Amino acid sequence: MTAPCSVTSEVGRLRTVLLHRPGAELRRLTPRNNDELLFDGVPWVARAQEEHDAFAAALTERGVEVLHLHRLLTEVMAVPAARDEVIAEAVDDPRLGATLQHATTAHLGGLAPDDLAQALIAGVAHDELRGGRGLTYQLMDRGDFVVPPLPNLMFTRDSSVWVGGQVAVTSLAMPARARESALTTAVYTHHPRFAGAEQLYGAHLEHLEGGDVLLLAPGVVAVGVGERTTPGGAERLARRVFARGLAHTVLVVPIAQERATMHLDTICTMVDVDAMVMYPAVADSLRAWTVTSDELPDDADTVELTVRGPRPFLDAAAEAMGIDRLRVIDTGLDPVTAEREQWDDGNNTLALAPRLAVAYERNTVTNAALEKAGIEVLAIAGSELGSGRGGPRCMSCPVLREPLV
């Protein structure tokens, strides 16, 4: 029997999560391409894998079922329709030209499922392409990528997010990440684990990334708009969750369009049913527009929206959640320490249950403040994983959480 899939909050006990163990794609990073591929440095791959294995083990030890994206993708690459879809997406690149597109299609089409999954994730370099030909191929350098690698795939939160029992396959803004959604689409469409799951969003729509989507409470969704998610993406998601009866309120929260605050979850994450850890520098300035709809649910993108605001985010969130106030964990950080720990994903925690969260061990001051506030912290190493600017929440896509009582 297929296990259920449903997520209605950030803190309901986590039962199933989707991770991706970093692999050969990280070995493609060099000082020449790491900026383009959205990494701040060249990670030590073996250590990054050790850190990720420890993260997965910590989840398993707490009763969480861990699904690995690479394994699921390998299994669906035995399905002809899935193979055709992801290969077509991989070669849909104007850099290549028609001749090299045909040659790359033939190369990928001839691979066994496990080799194809590996090639789609780690990329295909010029010298690895069997049957390469054409002007574009001849003019490439030996180390150039015909199919670029996806080193950010380990941040599984961004390419899909579950809202209730439906999955939003997102539209990633950065060219280096755009193809990730094709792989998650293939898995959710063709893997028997997700048979019958309705898809709430799609990669062809306005830019929307999962790191900007927080399920503050059942029926209440916060969406950050900034560097990665556009107002149009937030509006489209709002219409769809209202149309399908998945939420009654969407809070649209503008955030600075900077790398340090690329997603809403780099600024704040929920750690209890009424509490979040938040970057102190924005706690008083963050604003939200409250979006609702009075129309009856109807599966369409034409739902009329009512927009109110802006008002302080914490006030708007508490009202939507039906509570007196939303507690903010006071980290008590001086400005320099606050900026350092925010950069090191100190606010990017993964809640395993109310008052139980995974965090990077290096953010000692933030973690101490969480513990003081009654939040148990499972501290994990992340010195190499963090080079891609992502913490425990970024690296995890919850598939099943218990509903809050």
Catalytic residue numbers read 394
CA trace torsion 300, 186, 13, 213 (10° rounding): -50
DSSP secondary structure of 113-164: HHHHHHHHHH-EEGGG-TT--SHHHHHS-TT-EEE---GGGG-HHHHEEEEB
Identify whether the C-beta of residue 16 lies closer than 8 Å to the C-beta of residue 63.
Answer: no
Kindly tell me the sign of the dihedral angle through the C-alpha atoms of 246, 321, 363, 373: negative
Task: Report the distance separating Cα 75 and Cα 220, nearest Å.
Answer: 35
Which residue intervals of 256-334 are DSSP H helices? 313-321
- Using CB atoms within 10 Å of the CB of residue 94, give its burial: 0 to 12 exposed, 13 to 18 middle, 19+ buried: exposed
Question: Strand, coil or helix: what is 310?
Answer: strand
In terms of DSSP bridges, do strands 124-125 and 145-147 run parallel, antiparallel, or are they unpaired? Answer: antiparallel
Task: Report the distance separating Cα 377 and Cα 267, nearest Å.
Answer: 18
What φ, ψ does residue 84 adopt, rounded to 5°?
-60, -40
